[in-house]
Amino acid sequence: MSQQTVQLGWSREQMAQRCAQDIKDGSYVNLGIGIPEKVAQYVPAGREVIYHTENGLLGMGTEPSAEELDPDLINAGKKPVTAIDGAAYFHHGDSFAMIRGKHIDICVLGAMQVSEQGDLANWSTGAPDAIPAVGGAMDLVAGVKTIYIITQHTTKTGAAKILPECTFPLTGQGVVNRIYSDLAVIDVTEKGLVLIELAPNISFDYVQQKTGVSLINALKQE
Amino acid sequence: MIDKRVTSCAAAVAKIKDGDTVMIGGFGEAGSPIELIHALIDHGAKNLTVVNNNTGSGRVGLAALIENGQVAKMICSYPRTANSTVFPELYHAGKIELELVPQGTLAERIRAGGAGVPAFYTPTSVGTPLAAGKESRTFEEQEYVMERAIKADFALIQAKQADRYGNLTFNKTARNFAPIMAMAATHTLVQTNEMVELGEIDPENVITPGIFVNQIVEVSNPLQESTLVKEGVVYP
């Protein structure tokens, strides 16, 4: 970064990097398609984390080399992956028993909208001409113990994505625990949404302006 | 003597009838029994209800079966994938029905179908449009939605190894829906990369016990869907 540049907020990579700090040693983790996938590369050294992919693998490794590539070894996004030493394969019934049965510790997903109560909408805009496709998102939010969301704070047109109520069809009700946006880290609590961390050179007031609901500022000096 | 081997994919699919429900294994191309699907296209049974996680890609395999007008209804979790154009066109034209099911609910409905459980309660989809119109019930202060089991007339699956009793092993994540589909179908048809002698699969390593399998055909070098799609191949 040049000295003239003033960084405003977090990049997509930095959002993944920030989220990765909260993945504890020994966790079983499911990463959604897209930015959440990047979290794996930023988990601090020394922590042993097992990645679950819902199409039947615990112990997902990195991208394969050309020699390692096997079209029968893919992740939920249908991209080729590898299996680590100590990995296990299983069928879809068992895979979703792991999810629904609350055996997976953390799932990181993207979002279209999140509500004040932690409702999540991330599978459909409800447009009448769109072909609906849900995949495993509803099972993950219903069953995984902790749900982290990585998302831009607003839409491309600047509209708030964190709202009093989701206007898009829900993926799950009251399921989100923490939001990592390009502007801040926000916890969903019984008292409301609590801002616990600001991205570089971002003020609380600025985040509040871009959010559809009142935020509680945990950084405020009493 | 028990010998579930047949000599061709055509012989395996011969008894599939118009209107049947057919489960097809695979998650994308991993585990897709492409030779059996092509044999079903040649066979021509119509008005099928097909259960698969997706709707195929390109113009081969499952996508070709749909394009050939043999599928009246798809039951799946994710009908859109890269290189998937056949299903979207027919869906927009109102020529194919879609029952959208969350992936884990789809798996459990299939598993239940094979395990003699007609319905079950799940937390998945509570409060979403996919729970609309379904019975719900509260257990220990949490709401659950009732989902019905799915059974099928036929399941088409791919295995890595099979013996003549129908004991199966799979390759990596190509296993996906195959073991539960084998349980939920009246007739399970398997294409296997390799036929082996009885005893060659250690009983400790059998993934699908032969009781769930009806017919097996050896296809030692199966076509690879992504390669065919890249080459622009159209079946038939």
Give percent of chain A above pLDDT 70. 98
Compute the nearest-CA separation of A168 from chain B (Å).
10
Q: Strand, coil or helix: what is B183?
A: helix
pLDDT per position as a tens digit, A92-142: 999 999 999 999 999 999 999 999 999 999 999 989 888 999 999 999 999
Domain containing A165: what range? 12-214
Q: Is residue B8 part of a domain?
A: no
Asked if B192 and B233 count as a contact pair (C-beta separation under 8 A), the reply is no
Whether A145 shows a pLDDT value over 90: the answer reads yes
Q: Is residue B37 part of a domain?
A: yes
pLDDT average, residue stretch A30-50: 95
Whether B81 shows a pLDDT value over 80: the answer reads no
Q: Is residue A221 part of a domain?
A: no
Q: Is residue B68 within 8 angstroms of chain A, CB to CB?
A: no
* B136 DSSP β-pair partners: B145
How far apart CA A124 and CA A112 sit, in angstroms, is 8
pLDDT average, residue stretch B29-50: 98
pLDDT average, residue stretch A157-170: 97
When pLDDT is cut at 50, 70 and 90, the band that residue A7 belongs to is confident
Q: What CATH number does residue A77 fall under? A: 3.40.1080.10
pLDDT per position as a tens digit, B54-78: 999 999 999 999 999 999 999 999 9
Compute the nearest-CA separation of A177 from chain B (Å).
17
Q: What CATH number does residue B52 fall under? A: 3.40.1080.10
How far apart CA A11 and CA A72 sit, in angstroms, is 33
In chain B, the number of structural domains is 1
pLDDT average, residue stretch B164-181: 98
pLDDT average, residue stretch B198-225: 98
Q: Is residue B123 part of a domain?
A: no
Q: Is residue A127 within 8 angstroms of chain B, CB to CB?
A: no
Give the pLDDT of residue A3. 59
Q: Which of A54, A77, A72, A88 is nearest to B104 (CA)?
A: A54
Rg (CA), chain B: 18
How far apart CA B190 and CA B157 sit, in angstroms, is 5
Whether A2 shows a pLDDT value over 90: the answer reads no
3-state secondary structure B91-149: HHCCCCEEEECCHHHHHHHHHHHHHCCCEEEECCCCCCHHHCCCCEEEECCEEEEEEEC
Q: CB–CB of A169 and B129 under 8 A?
A: yes
Q: Would you state the structure tokens that stand for residue A170, as one six-digit string? A: 């829900």
In a mutational test of the B interface, the residue from A33, A78, A100 whose CB has the highest number of chain B CBs within 10 Å is A78
Q: Is residue A176 within 8 angstroms of chain B, CB to CB?
A: no
Distances (CA, A) of A185 to A14, A144, A214, B31, B141: 12, 20, 15, 40, 30
> What ipTM is given for this predicted complex?
0.96
How far apart CA B2 and CA B58 sit, in angstroms, is 39
How far apart CA A218 and CA A211 sit, in angstroms, is 16
Q: Which of B104, B13, B179, A64 is nearest to B170 (CA)?
A: B179
Whether B230 shows a pLDDT value over 60: the answer reads yes
Residue in A closest to B87 by C-alpha: A131
Domain containing B177: what range? 18-100+151-220
Q: Is residue A5 part of a domain?
A: no
Q: What is the mean pLDDT of chain A?
A: 95
Q: What is the mean pLDDT of chain B?
A: 97
Give percent of chain A above pLDDT 90. 92
Would the CA dihedral through B104, B162, B165, B41 be positive or negative? positive
Q: Is residue B160 part of a domain?
A: yes
Q: Is residue B134 part of a domain?
A: no
When pLDDT is cut at 50, 70 and 90, the band that residue B172 belongs to is very high
Report the helix count and the strand count for chain B, using DSSP H and E.
Answer: 7, 11
> Rounded to the nearest 5°, which phi and psi values hold at B169?
-125, 165
Q: Is residue B83 part of a domain?
A: yes
Written as one letter, the residue type at B137 is: R
| CA angle (B189, B193, B196) in 5-degree steps | 90
pLDDT average, residue stretch B137-158: 98
Q: Is residue A4 part of a domain?
A: no
Give the pLDDT of residue A128. 86
| CA angle (A76, A78, A80) in 5-degree steps | 110
Q: CB–CB of A172 and B127 under 8 A?
A: yes
Q: Is residue B32 part of a domain?
A: yes
Quickly list H helices, chain A.
Answer: 12-20, 35-38, 92-100, 137-143, 204-209
Compute the nearest-CA separation of A201 from chain B (Å).
38
Whether A189 shows a pLDDT value over 90: the answer reads yes
Could you tell me whether strands B48-51 and B71-76 are parallel, antiparallel, or unpaired per DSSP bridges?
Answer: parallel
Give the pLDDT of residue A4. 67
Whether A1 shows a pLDDT value over 60: the answer reads no
In chain A, the number of structural domains is 1
